[in-house]
A and B are shown apart, each in its own frame.
Chain A
Amino acid sequence: MADPITLTIDGKQVNVPAGTLVIEAAKQVGIEIPAFCYYEGFSLQAACRMCLVEVEKMPKLQPSCTLPAAEGMVIHTESPKVVDARKGMLEFLLTNHPLDCPVCDKGGECELQDMTFRYGAGESRFVEIKHHVDEKQWSPAVYYDAARCILCYRCIRVCDEGLGVGALGLTYRGVGAEITPSHGDHLECDECGWCIDVCPVGALTSGTYRYKSRPWEMNYAGTICTHCGDGCKTTLSVRNGEVIRANNRDRSGINDEFLCVKGRFGFDFVHSPERLQSPLMRRNGKLEPVSWSEAIGLVSDKFLEVAARGGSFGVIGSTRATNEESYFLQKFARQGLETNNIDHHRSGDVATLLDALSGKTKALATVNDLYTAKAALVVGADLAQQHPLLAYQLRANWRHHQSSTYVVSEGPVREDQYAAKSVRAAAGAELAALEGLREDLKKHGDLVILFGASVKGDAVRSLVAFGDSLGIPVTYVCLVDYSNSRGAMDMGVLPDLAPGYKAVDKPGMNIDEMLTSPTLDVLWVVGANPLEHTQLKNEKAFVVVQELFLTETAQRADVVFPAASAYEKSGTVTNVCGEVQRLKAGPKVMGAKPDLEIMGLLAKQMGLNLGIWTPDKVFEEIRRSVRGYNVALPVIATGGAAPTMPVNGRIPVSPRPDLIRPSGDTLFTSGTLGRYSRMLNKVMEAPGQLYKP
């Protein structure tokens, strides 16, 4: 750490480490120095000249965004010279900036508006004709209005430095200079839309939010993205019960401002016209809408009847449902239906990892650890495609802390750009390739190992053994695909493990056995699509489905309940690193109910006593009874991420590597939900391909 130095800003003494930028030092004492081009965490530009300050003994005004603080510096941020310079800059900026605030999407949350309001230049002396360029559409998600652009280069930097995509550049010069996609007239990129978020003015506008509303017209709900396992916080902007925008400008959550295309634009499945809004019941071979009471009544009668005659139930849980729903479902199955025939679509071998790590503490990495670790090893995953947040964290770590990243994958990945070493190895043969990296990995102070679904079963134990043999602190992340894959396992939606990875007396049927069993009487599917590529063996089985859409499984069902999406309900989810975060209901879709409520109504109808079915109460029970989930409530309640303590002891796991099936989702696909998102299907990069950067 550099020696602390003392400088004076507007008469206030500030102690900062040497090398701190003056603009940051000013922040520490509550002095705001306005700036457009300065953006924390990205390279310095000094282009907007808004942050000029007066430094004693320096003849010229200095840009505080590039000026390192020095001992004894005396800085004035509100002297007449500085105020005049700011006013001048704003006046220059507004010369060619169209004053179309009433129709500009940014109106109300525009930095240029705010600064003009605060620092003057309300009247312009500019009477010439403004330089005008027509608006362009770069992609279904991104529009660019060059006339509004103030050229702060934030978009170029987040794209290039933040994501390693580099889809934007600068063309022309002088007053005609504008941002241009590297493909000329269109974007071929991640379509993440971060450039739209960071734009301080309305130059970059979003294809989904465009012209829809104004910032003060909306309600905001900070919830967790439901598309992949990374657990990014996404703040939904809701107007009249409809989500019209998703972003995370307040930097709350584990992902700072980062969101991928699914987080920013993939919310539109919620309002897809194909959403189910009424229970459906099969009559005369056709699914017809019925009332809730009728549907609940029928399912309850059927369940009771099958239970009475000792028939067999099969329950398939969801990888997207909340922890509370997964917990309640397994409780329903094990206590209410008295069966262990419960499973879900597994996409990573978390149980084996936890077993292999038994006896170790602090062996699981959090999302933030990826930003602070000295080195990272990615095994068998295309991180930028499958886990964009983790990829972003690793890249940020490399940019800011010069960390080293090692990749072992079956094809080229984006991490190769900055990886210390990249090794190609066929899926399943990755471990053999690790030996070649041993000497390199040993050099680092600590290491995070991230492994994909191709490392499963005994391979996980070998990987942990390899980590142990390095002689440095090693932490692990088992990559799973869906937003609550991790939670479903922790909550015991497994035939052989109860919540907290406790053994059950008599393991039930797994997902494959249920689907192929000729004697299965009832199949109850909650938020999953197991029949996407297969048929149910027992054609006479009674199938109950809780789903958002009429999927292949729902089409086979006898009763379909319209379920609410993750954005419409409260509860908690656990991300790929085992951090618990809270969902907050934003939009409303008429007719749909959260899965927890559906299960609760069913339990009530059947006369089962499974406890109160509100998310808060169920979570309380989870905290009490599930190992590792006794997390601090205030952390979760305030929108933070609480890491779950790993199970510290042997897990009676019977590994079934064959049941671990990665979804193979790319950046532009998201299982069932992705099929119903218009934006995810509209962008030209969709559906994308793994290992093809």
Chain B
Amino acid sequence: MLLNEPHPLESRVLTRRYVYPQKDAIGIDQYVSQQGYDGIRKALEMTPEAIIDEVKKSSLRGRGGAGFPTGMKWSFVDRKSPKPKYIVVNADEGEPGTCKDRVIMEHEPHRLIEGCLIAGRSINSNRGWIYIRGEYRKYIDIMDRAIADAYARGFLGDNVLGSGWTFHLSTHTGAGSYECGEESALLESLEGKRGNPRLKPPFPATSGAFQCPTIVNNVETYSAVPDIILNGGDWYAGLGTPRNGGTRLVCLSGHLNRPGVYEVPLGMNMLTIINEIGGGVWKGRKLKAVIPGGSSSPILRAEECDIPADYDSLAKAGSMLGSGATVVLDETADIVKVLSRLMAFYAHESCGWCIPCREGTAWLKKILARLDEGVGTKNDIDMVDQLATSMFGRTFCALGDAAAMPAMSYVRKFRDEFEAKLNSTQVFVPAPQTQPLVVL
């Protein structure tokens, strides 16, 4: 188990039961003895409206990337609908740099189960799934084990804690696609189809899994709910800044002395996170840039990093908090290579549904590979920007934007590096053309 040493600046709410080093997941006995499942006990005595109000008060926002207010999302579900209502956990953690959901499932699976129960209670649902990416084989096993334990203790099943309310939960294995982290593609995949995103509207809250009202949230979002119910929404909101309630897990990676997953209140200064919690840039080098919210978020230059890390401040700085994966690049990092590698990832993961994303990512990948090899031209740099611009906002789902945003920001903010990579002595030579353009 790899949870890193805790840092004094962390405010540990979600991770408060974790110990370091921890060998196994927190078992059901330990969990119950430490206030575990008290949240659902309390929730069972509350009305669904009260639960949703409490979540709304906490100003909890979705931790998956888009940051949509959770309480609002839950309130969109028509609880009186004659159709069954479903709870879906998005544990298809695929964003490069993100590794927080895995830490939660690895250490404290019962917290997620409890979160699902409370969410289920709030919309009168009787069925939930945890959609875990196939590569997380180990955590699927941990979750399965925990679910079995919860069934044995009566937390799940036909009569949850003797209340007469039924709630069933099971895991569902993804087949390895980044696209299935998008909620509607995830639902398609859950239904056994190809993981293509769906047309929106209708949103999952009205027509989700199997055409029924569905809540889809991230693992971390659900995991924050038990404490909110237990301690009240106001308490949780007070942990962060206004409209950005609570704490969140930050996945620090890159050129740092102490990379790892840390829990910090929302609104902590970015530089504090990097320099204090992350132990500063490694090998005594200088900071060059930060990718603040997973690979899809626009990059920040070192001088732009002195801002609070919350949803609104980052949006103001032209980036986004995303999934909280903070990747730190030191002065030796090759921005062109980073973008080239990123684009190869997006081209590989594009589902192929819509034209701009399918063709755009593949084209950008080829141009960037050329630029990275030093055989690009000045035109190519402009073209990366132009192509990304013509992709942005025109794709079917957010994957196209996720690929376009870094491309635009990297080229605009580090144009000097792109130009430096051009071979200045080289006369323009078109890319090697082994195949004629006109294939007859």
Contact = CB atoms under 8 A, between A and B. Distances in A.
> How many B residues are at the interface, by size bracket?
35 or more
Interface string A79-109: 0000011001101110110111011000000
Contact of B394 (A85, A91, A125, A126): A85
Contacts of A103: 440
Interface stretch (B36-44, B67-75, B281-289, B360-368): B360-368
Report whether over half of chain A's contact residues are helix, strand or loop; otherwise say mixed: loop
Interface in B400-440: 430-431, 433-435, 437-440
Interface string A120-141: 0000011111111000000000
B129 interface: no
A175 B435 contact: no
B390 A84 contact: yes
A92 B361 CA distance: 10
A60 B396 CA distance: 12
A204 B366 CA distance: 28
A22 to B, nearest CB: 15
Interface string B354-382: 11101111110011001000000000000
Contacts of A128: 363, 366-367, 370, 431
B177 interface: yes
B199 A177 contact: no
A132 B439 contact: yes
B350 interface: yes
B348 interface: yes
A91 B391 CA distance: 11
A174 B352 contact: yes
B358 A151 contact: yes
Interface in A456-484: none
B347 A174 contact: yes
A48 B359 CA distance: 11
B349 A174 contact: yes
A96 B363 CA distance: 9
Report whether over half of chain B's contact residues are helix, strand or loop; otherwise say mixed: loop
Nearest to A153: B353
B350 A47 contact: no
A434 to B, nearest CB: 33
User: Which one of A48, A95, A96, A150 has the greatest number of beta carbons of chain B within 10 Å?
Assistant: A95
B395 interface: yes
Given A100-B439, A102-B440, A127-B431, A177 B362 contact: no
Contact of B363 (A50, A52, A95): A95
Interface string B172-185: 00000101000000
B351 interface: yes
B83 interface: no
Given A92-B360, A100-B440, A151-B358, A46 B199 contact: yes
A130 B435 contact: yes
Given A125-B383, A129-B434, A173 B351 contact: yes
Contacts of B347: 174-175
Contacts of A129: 366, 431, 433-435
A44 interface: yes
Contact of A93 (B359, B391, B438): B359
Given A126-B363, A129-B433, A177 B394 contact: no
User: Which one of B194, B363, B367 has the greatest number of beta carbons of chain A within 10 Å?
Assistant: B363
Contacts of B177: 173
A601 to B, nearest CB: 52
A372 to B, nearest CB: 27
A130 B437 CA distance: 8
B198 to A, nearest CB: 10
Contacts of B435: 129-130, 132
A379 B347 CA distance: 53
Given A46-B396, A173-B352, A96 B359 contact: yes
Contacts of A132: 435, 439
B393 interface: yes
A95 B352 contact: no
A92 B350 CA distance: 14
A590 interface: no
Contact of B352 (A50, A88, A93, A172): A172
A176 B354 contact: no
Interface in A39-64: 44-50, 52, 59-61
Contacts of A92: 355-356, 358-360, 363, 390
Contacts of A45: 199
A176 B438 CA distance: 20
A176 B362 CA distance: 10
B394 A61 contact: yes
A174 B396 contact: no
B390 A46 contact: no
A91 B363 CA distance: 11
A454 to B, nearest CB: 39
A174 B350 CA distance: 5
A298 to B, nearest CB: 57
A560 to B, nearest CB: 48
A131 B358 CA distance: 12
A95 B362 contact: yes
Interface in A347-367: none
A177 B348 CA distance: 11
Contacts of A102: 440
A131 B391 CA distance: 20
B359 A95 contact: yes
Contacts of B370: 128
Given A46-B396, A49-B394, A98-B439, A88 B362 contact: no
B439 A175 contact: no
Interface string A9-53: 000000000000000000000000000000000001111111010
B438 A100 contact: yes
Nearest to B369: A128
A170 B358 CA distance: 14
A127 B435 CA distance: 11
Nearest to A52: B394
A442 B347 CA distance: 57
A66 interface: yes
A59 B133 CA distance: 34
Interface in B218-249: none
A344 B78 CA distance: 64
Nearest to A124: B437
A174 B393 contact: no
B394 A96 contact: no
Contacts of B196: 170
Contacts of B431: 127-129
A85 B352 contact: no
Contact of A174 (B362, B383, B430, B433): B362
Contacts of B437: 99, 130
User: Which one of A66, A127, A172 has the greatest number of beta carbons of chain B within 10 Å?
Assistant: A127
B277 to A, nearest CB: 36
A44 B430 CA distance: 40
Contacts of A173: 177, 179, 349-352
A130 B393 CA distance: 25
Contacts of B358: 92, 151, 174-175, 177
B344 to A, nearest CB: 11
Nearest to A60: B393
Interface string A198-217: 00000000000000000000
A103 B367 CA distance: 29
24 contacts: A47-B355, A49-B396, A60-B393, A92-B363, A95-B359, A95-B362, A96-B359, A98-B438, A99-B439, A102-B440, A128-B366, A129-B366, A129-B433, A131-B362, A132-B435, A132-B439, A151-B352, A169-B194, A173-B179, A173-B350, A174-B348, A174-B349, A176-B352, A177-B352
For the complex of A and B, the 3 pairs showing the least CB-CB separation, nearest first, are A177-B352, A88-B390, A92-B359
Given A93-B355, A95-B362, A128-B370, 19 more contacts: A46-B396, A47-B355, A47-B396, A84-B390, A88-B356, A88-B390, A92-B358, A92-B363, A100-B439, A103-B440, A125-B383, A129-B433, A130-B435, A130-B437, A132-B435, A174-B358, A175-B347, A175-B362, A177-B352
